[in-house]
Structure 1
């Protein structure tokens, strides 16, 4: 692009042109970069081809102007070519076709070689003219054609496909297009359908030559030109330049030579041609840039709905509820009254015990295994997430934004699982107060056991008289009621402690579940931002830049 920039800037500085061609070519390059993989690949390919062609043409001789003479069979373009050159260089005849290869005549060879190589003109059909001034066809000087590269093309309506391809190739790269028509076939449908209409935007670099006017009466020439002008304007060629010529009349090509002299002297044709190419191509981008300002990101309400849906898809409420149950079961091992647990085990049947154990292990293991969401649930959560932001976008960009929202859909289940596992606490972590309660409960159990032993000794020694001189603490049967009261108090204290702790655990487990659910939701929100919201926002920013670039180019067109 450096060569393109430098060459175009030099031309623009010389002429004081309006919107710079360089800036417009750079704008087109940005459109290609931004639209790649998002909009019509055919349009992007055509744009890339134009950028390449522009860079190549602007990197070649700016002192030369490439002018093509194109037309149908019998229009006399080869005769015009020879008349302008002053030599019989191109074959002339009436059989179809006559010219089979492009012929080139160059005024000023310095720097023209690389240009002719780029045009792919066969070296056998390259000719050169020298001299500052050339005759105007009537014997007098008319100006210099220095820098002119005149190309005589095969017939555009040739029955040979390769001739048509040759015409199409040169028409796409010439600096000035000269279409030669004759009075009988100036309304030729093939010419107008395939070239005039598609290149209607190139009016500034198009000249229509009505040749062989010597076949008309003087009063008929004006009528023929008027009808041709009307036809061209109806086809979109604004203010068409029409020149009448005849190669058999003295001075019959003077007007055409004057146009060529003026064009060569201005050295603006290649810039104007490329500008016309840009204008023609930029119009095709109009459908990909909506007038309305695009949104910057998905709205807060819709983002919250997405987080809610992903939260449900990941099963967060069920996980939080299971955590509460596991928290309570885990707490029972620490704050429950051991005596009551022992009694419950003695009363429970084996089947109930097995089910309880299975449930306990399932709840305990729920947080140590993999946690994730099903792909179908994730796809459901993503459905319609971009409906609001794509409502006013062109369909191609709306499709690109929707694709961005699903760009990480395949790895979202695993990402959600990983985010939840990072939040879940280690199962072997227990609050300190549980250990204090457990220590207290087992102390009470110890006191209860000691109380039972004491009562047993009192019965043995104080009641049964197993010893004649027992210690006072085990020999006085009157202590039995007091020790029994102590045992009852200890057992009641243990049961009361267990009941109070269960109430505290129930409240703590609810708060614990709510806290964990909130933390899991926060992590899911982070995943949603990273894997869904940010890609959509990036795509919307890309579209906004594309829209600004396209509108800027459209406004300059």
Structure 2
């Protein structure tokens, strides 16, 4: 019986040593599933987790065995082909639907195959063993390590049979689809299996069976038409072998392909690489096209810090601290005589101003959080606007979520930062004490001068008694003592006026210093609570992009 010459087993697109290995790609897929949690499509992540689990189990099982499935529709002759390859009548054959209800396995080389067959869930009643050398022409060829599976019909009327096929086509190392000349274009096969597994061309073999029913030119015509159909459905460079189960020569080409496949011991890794690359393509839409930012740019970083500083009310607090500084200084540098007069006539405006300052400072830390929260939310929205513009929607949402991770705690954190920046209200500069001492000294001199004048008037002018000393009875000293008192009072007033100017200058510097300290601490809060989470999320996204590229590498 004439058969077409079997094509060689297709090699990978390039040397596997030149592309990342399977282990590296599985590690990348594991990182993707971890990073994608709560960020990417849950169904896709579940599929990735299933693939990781399946790949891990398959790699732990025998690497010396190659799992090959024979799948096809009713009447395609796959069970007859299975028996012809095995050399025994192991699988029931016939045209009745269905004939094969459970997968049958024939194993060449049982050592280590048991756990693999258990994992494949092949019923022990349907497991068979064969010798290692079955090729009739080439005694050196061997199928040692082959696990050949005959599956139920994919178009069976029994749902459990179709489910059995669906399960095995996802775990087999090599997929062989058996078609016959009459139904090779069967829509169910192409729609449900060929098209979805089109990217698995490297681990897929199409067998055109029953060519004994065709003339040689009809065989070539069928193969050409079948190849055209497969290529149109996305199966690149499909491998097609023609067979006939009615004679041993009719399966020679298929057997040689299996011999080469088993000898290479590469198809297991090839299948997993294709599966990993396939799911990598499904992650590609979450990767984006443009080069993403790796950190928050300076403009958005500075904008966030300014916005949070304004939301915390730092400028208003700094201004209040300036006023408080000036009022506090007035108690030290003010001329005590004027202060006494002010107390005697009670200045309600000063009392009101002190009360407002006290409330303003208290409200900076214990005021209503709701008013601050709105400004904080606006600042968080603004800082992410320019960053997420080029990101895929899923990662844009995750970056925004990272920015808001501590949003509820930020008002309190900002208040604490401002408290830490403010000095103790009771701290007093040393020169204030010196000025106060000097002022009271002048007051003492003034009081003594006035008392002296009083004694001079009493003893020298009114002669109420004999003066105990000439310094107290000489009325001519009165003008000089009066000049001393006036000068002392003038010096006190001049000292107060000069110090007020100095306080005005130092209070401005004090307010600027306080605002700078508050800004520094607010900037620290912004870095720790907002910018660092955003940077971490961007780094995670960058690693995700690299891992997706690794999965898709060819």
- TM-score (ref. length: structure 1): 0.89
How many residues align? The count is 539
Whole-Å separation in 2 of the counterparts to 1:469 and 1:383 = 87
Alignment of 1:483-494 (within 5 A): 483-494=481-492
- Counterpart of 1:57? 58
Instruction: Write out per-residue CA displacement over residues 195-224 of structure 1, whole angstroms, 9 at most, x where no aligned residue.
Output: 111111111211112223344444433222
2:355 matches 1:358:
yes
1:264–1:369 Cα change, 3 Å: closer
2:375 matches 1:374:
no
CA contact (8 A) 1:67 1:174 kept: yes
CA contact (8 A) 1:64 1:264 kept: yes
1:17–1:41 Cα change, 3 Å: same
Instruction: Write out per-residue CA displacement over residues 483-506 of structure 1, whole angstroms, 9 at most, x where no aligned residue.
Output: 333222222221221111111111
1:275–1:355 Cα change, 3 Å: closer
2:522 matches 1:509:
no
2:546 matches 1:545:
no
Unaligned 5+ runs, structure 1: 1-11
1:384–1:98 Cα change, 3 Å: farther
CA contact (8 A) 1:135 1:142 kept: no
Whole-Å separation in 2 of the counterparts to 1:353 and 1:63 = 94
Whole-Å separation in 1 of the counterparts to 2:178 and 2:45 = 33
1:251–1:318 Cα change, 3 Å: same
1:369–1:428 Cα change, 3 Å: farther
Higher relative contact order (CA 8 A, sep 6+): 2
CA contact (8 A) 1:329 1:360 kept: no
Specify which of 286, 296, 299 is matched with residue 297 of structure 2: 299
1:393–1:320 Cα change, 3 Å: same
Whole-Å separation in 2 of the counterparts to 1:274 and 1:361 = 71
Secondary structure, in 3 states, of the residue corresponding to 1:252? Answer: helix
CA contact (8 A) 1:420 1:523 kept: yes
1:527–1:365 Cα change, 3 Å: closer
Shift of 1:301: 1.9
Whole-Å separation in 1 of the counterparts to 2:528 and 2:416 = 14
- Counterpart of 1:448? 446
Unaligned 5+ runs, structure 2: 1-11
- Counterpart of 2:5? none
Q: Which moved more, 1:289-298 or 1:236-245?
A: 289-298
Whole-Å separation in 2 of the counterparts to 1:401 and 1:57 = 37
Instruction: Write out per-residue CA displacement over residues 60-103 of structure 1, whole angstroms, 9 at most, x where no aligned residue.
Output: 22222111111122322222222222222222333333322111
Shift of 1:536: 2.2
- Counterpart of 1:3? none
- TM-score (ref. length: structure 2): 0.89
Instruction: Write out per-residue CA displacement over residues 419-478 of structure 1, whole angstroms, 9 at most, x where no aligned residue.
Output: 222221111110101001111111122222222322333333333332145533333333
CA contact (8 A) 1:65 1:175 kept: yes
- Counterpart of 1:4? none
Output the aligned Cα RMSD.
Answer: 2.7
CA contact (8 A) 1:68 1:176 kept: yes
Whole-Å separation in 1 of the counterparts to 2:207 and 2:166 = 19
- Counterpart of 2:344? 346
- Counterpart of 1:198? 196
